[in-house]
Structure 1
């Protein structure tokens, strides 16, 4: 399948003003990659992203980088997924540098689908593994990301909206491929296999396994940076309870973009037809009466 081309954000997308439209295929690395946080999503990766940025590892890539911050990133993720799972094209260090050359750290999915590739691409980076109890992780993921990857409203938005048309196919491909076609059935087994694989790829001195609640100290010691001053609390973001509401609100805003674009385009077309009709009548009608 041919790589999907980049297209600029429509000027009519006024209900999602925060979305940027950077074409990462034209980017290059501008900061060193220092941290690969390869714990699966729903193990505290959003909180970890905030913490890493607080510690100076800016920017830190996360699924939010592609889903709501710069949707065209999804085009390169789709290329990476096609190369890995379908054998279509190649995706190596050059492409990773294009995709997140502005980042000193990465975390969350879909990065985790490429743990081996990223460890090989950035051998100098330290590796973090956030983890949690597998049963609570599976239950949390079922109610959040699994729901998002399979919900019909997002599929509908993807048929018409600029951002959703890039995000939904990428998310669906990642979710189906990484969990071997069935997250509900294979999720817990793949969880264990994944963590075992990462542990086997990284020397013990370059790996920190971390659970939310352990605070700044072990993280800062491993990354060799000072603990934030003033008793600053470790961040806690992206709680499960608000996930679905945020996603549904995003869907609504995207569909409002679609409606507004249709109104503008339809109104402009109607104005053109109306003007042409008046001109025709004025010219040919006048000649007929002469």
Structure 2
């Protein structure tokens, strides 16, 4: 591990991902942290961790950005004592909060994301195993109900968490390997801190106004897989509904209910017999 980006989500983390990737670093961002390391982070939130756990998790990875890694920046810094620490920030906590609200609004308004949230097994499992717990512990984020249409943002809690996080990082980070950075500063301070040459391309500015939601759905492999799961689930639901409607019209509601009831009873009896034989 060479670089630990300790800044909260919506402080330019997607821009940092692209910038560090452009500079030749292998970066783990939110999708890699949450979906590839889901079991490891679940264990960390429930049972704790040690330096060896983090070293194993990020073996071969050059840089980490975004949640949940940013909340473990200090532990990562101890596990990788040569890694440089970058605290990305916005100009104000109000600007940061508005950016968070833009992101949730973009997610709420994206039909594909709503389908993924409701019908993707991968997303359902990830929320159950990690994301709901992580949101509550790190940012006071209320878990959504299954059919929730809007994210619940406790704005006062979020600002307090943001303020406390930034203050602690500035206080506790080793000064000889620490940089406070805003993406609006461009390549200069970042490349000087990392000791690398400035690329001959503009500094990337990603995820403006929550635009990363649509981009992630279109380009990130894990989100593409979840969309396929949601589409498959939708097709099964439509097929099942069509079959149920056909037999309801053909046989009548009473007969259909009787057949379903018999099927459930027979299925239960078969399961009991199976487990007795086991």
Quickly name the TM-score band, shorter chain normalised.
0.5 to 0.7
Structure with bigger helix share is: 2
Q: Pick from 53, 69, 74: which aligns with 2:38? A: 74
CA RMSD, 1 decimal: 3.2
Counterpart residue number, 2:230: 255
User: Is residue 171 from structure 1 mapped to residue 131 from structure 2 by the alignment?
Assistant: yes
Counterpart residue number, 2:245: none
1:84-163 aligned within 5 A = 89-132=47-90, 133-145=92-104, 157=116, 161-163=120-122
User: Is residue 49 from structure 1 mapped to residue 8 from structure 2 by the alignment?
Assistant: no
State the Cα deviation string for residues 176-221 of structure 1 (Å, max 9, x = none): 1112356422111111110111112212221111111211111111
What is the DSSP-based 3-state SS (H/G/I as helix, E as strand, rest coil) of the residue aligned with 1:46? helix
What is the DSSP-based 3-state SS (H/G/I as helix, E as strand, rest coil) of the residue aligned with 2:211? helix
Aligned length: 220
Tell me how far 1:226 sits from its aligned partner.
1.2
1:258-269 aligned within 5 A = 258-259=233-234
Contact 1:75 1:166 in 2 (8 A): no
What is the DSSP-based 3-state SS (H/G/I as helix, E as strand, rest coil) of the residue aligned with 1:226? coil
Mapped to 1, the partners of 2:203 and 2:97 lie a distance apart of 24
Tell me how far 1:138 sits from its aligned partner.
0.5
Contact 2:191 2:198 in 1 (8 A): yes
Structure 2: 5+ residue runs without aligned partners?
A: 142-152, 240-278
Counterpart residue number, 2:206: 237
- Higher mean displacement: 245-254 or 126-135: 245-254
Tell me how far 1:72 sits from its aligned partner.
4.1
User: Would the alpha carbon gap of residues 214 and 91 (structure 1) be closer, same or farther in structure 2, given more than 3 Å must change?
Assistant: same
Tell me how far 1:158 sits from its aligned partner.
5.8
Counterpart residue number, 1:218: 189
Mapped to 2, the partners of 1:99 and 1:159 lie a distance apart of 29
